[in-house]
Amino acid sequence: MAYPPLPGRESFLHRDNFLDQSVEVWNSDKRLADQQLYGVTPQQWCYKNRIYDLSQFIEKHPGGKHWLEMTQGTDITDFVETHHLEINKIEEILKKYYIKDCDKKPEFARYDWSDKGLFCILRGRVAKHFKGKKISPGLMTKIQYFLLIILFFSSFYCLYLTQSKIMAAITGLLCLSMLGIGHNFIHQRTSLFRFCADVTMFGSYQWTISHALSHHTYANMDIDIEIQVIEPVLYYLSNKPKNPVINVFIGHILILFIGPLNFLRRFIFSFVGKDKLKIENSIPIVELLILWSNAESFSSALNLWVIMHCVASVHLILATFPNHRTDNHWSEGDPKPAKDFAEHTLLTTSDHSVFLPLMLAYICFGGFNDHILHHLFPTVDRSILPELKGILIEGCKEFGIVYQESNFWKNFWGVYVAYFREKPFYIPKKAN
């Protein structure tokens, strides 16, 4: 039995149409849903049932104007709450741009942002912890990021010189650290570091929508576009059909080519007007042309390029699926969905291998291993998150919620269990 989603969390218009699942379509569908729910116009923004005109604030937005451009005509409550620590300051700024209360006021919201809820209490303590401090990376951290970038480009240069399949595989493995760095900075103020993601097949612009807006905010819900990445071959949500063995076999072939297929799909979507191409999206093509310039033939360069990005695809799946898509994670269709954002995150997200130093965490897991705090406070640099572990653990104890670090290999096996899981997710008992 699959349980229905909470009001406001129903799937968007094109949810089950694989041929329409681009990030621009998802954003357009959210815009349409929010305009129907709240009465916000395409030129406005909605926050907590109030309408604002932020058009004069777009250029002033400290995080970069793209956030407001992407969310114009939508309800931004969930994004504002999760991407700002000092929410009182944000609400003071918003007062300057207030127009009116919503004509339509739903009796529900996708989350409950009560001051007495776990998330808001944690956020207040984190804001206090960082009072007068930076949440962006320090000099030593930036040096480590630069070293990882140098390591990747050194590997790619060796691939260019040797035209070796082994070097193509090694370079592919190092792609995850580049995607991890780009992902880290996608959530932060506009920075050149965010374009590290574009050396992979997963562009920074597209990830800003699919990852920062959709997945981070609505993990494991029908409105999480990243949960749909290999549908209709494999399904992970509890309200979707389970899959025969043959689908698992086909699914693994799909996973191997998920990067190149995603890249090709993006160009097709852009050609038919369902996605936007950015200049940085051409970086993988530049990689191919560089390899071709020293290769015996175009086909041999193409072969190395595909190997590199297929290895990167598998590495990405191995690093990220165990964080959300196991039999030990709540997903849409399971009972007792959480209305508090922190409680939802704890049900849908795992930490593992948190003992790894920063550079090794990026090389092995793209930095995705210390993941719960990142989902809760995405604008805080990945290098600083360990400082907040005590705050998270103490908050969980106060609310009687179980927090425990997972084991990667246990979670990895749990991904396969989730393929065929028939029983609803078992909600852990609250801590004493």
User: In this predicted model, what pLDDT tens digit does every residue of 177-205 receive, in sequence order?
Assistant: 999 999 999 999 989 999 999 999 999 99
Q: In this predicted structure, what is the pLDDT of residue 288?
A: 98
pLDDT tier at 375, thresholds 50, 70, 90: very high
9-36 pLDDT, tens digit each: 999 999 999 888 899 999 999 999 999 9
| Average of per-residue pLDDT across 248-277 | 93
Domain 18-108 classification at class level: alpha beta
Torsion over CA: 291, 294, 298, 301 (sign): negative
| Least confident segment among 103-112, 172-181, 221-230 | 103-112
CB-based contacts of 234-239 (< 8 A; 24+ apart in sequence): 234/419, 236/325, 236/331, 236/418, 237/331, 237/332, 237/333, 238/2, 238/3, 238/331, 238/332, 238/333, 238/334, 238/421, 238/424, 238/425, 239/2, 239/3, 239/5, 239/331, 239/332, 239/333
pLDDT tier at 2, thresholds 50, 70, 90: confident
Q: What residue ranges do the domains of the chain occupy?
A: 18-108, 139-420
pLDDT tier at 427, thresholds 50, 70, 90: low
Is the pLDDT score of 429 beyond 70? Answer: no
Share of the chain above pLDDT 90, in %: 89
